[in-house]
Amino acid sequence: MTDWSWDYNPSAEYITDGLPPGVVAEVERLATELAALGRDAVKVGRPLDREGGLREFDLLGGRGFISFLAVPRHECVYVCNVTWYG
């Protein structure tokens, strides 16, 4: 377990507006899991050939994805976008 946290960037309202409640719950569950990884969160998801930067992780079996930044300096994972295909 790490001391990392997660947050929405720019805000929860901006990113989750219009998403079904179950999708928001899954996004928050994944963000919690990513924060638990700590520094290793910079290696999770796409792109596969490098670490860091904006990363993507599939959501609910490929029905969407989240884009996130893992920032070691802040010890935080920032959820930056959610794309939901429904």
C-alpha count within 13 angstroms, C-beta hemisphere, residue 9: 16
Q: Does the pTM of the predicted model rise above 0.95?
A: no
Whole-angstrom distance, CA of residue 21 vs CA of residue 51: 31
Per residue in 32-73, pLDDT (tens digit) is 999 999 999 999 999 988 888 999 999 999 899 999 999 999
Taking residue 72's Cβ as centre, other Cβ atoms within 10 Å add up to: 12
- pLDDT of 16 higher than 70: yes
Whole-angstrom distance, CA of residue 81 vs CA of residue 45: 14
Give the pLDDT of residue 1. Answer: 61
Q: Is the peptide bond before 10 cis (omega within 30 degrees of 0)?
A: yes
Give the total number of structural domains in the chain. 1
Residue 58 domain boundaries: 5-84
52: CATH: 3.30.2310
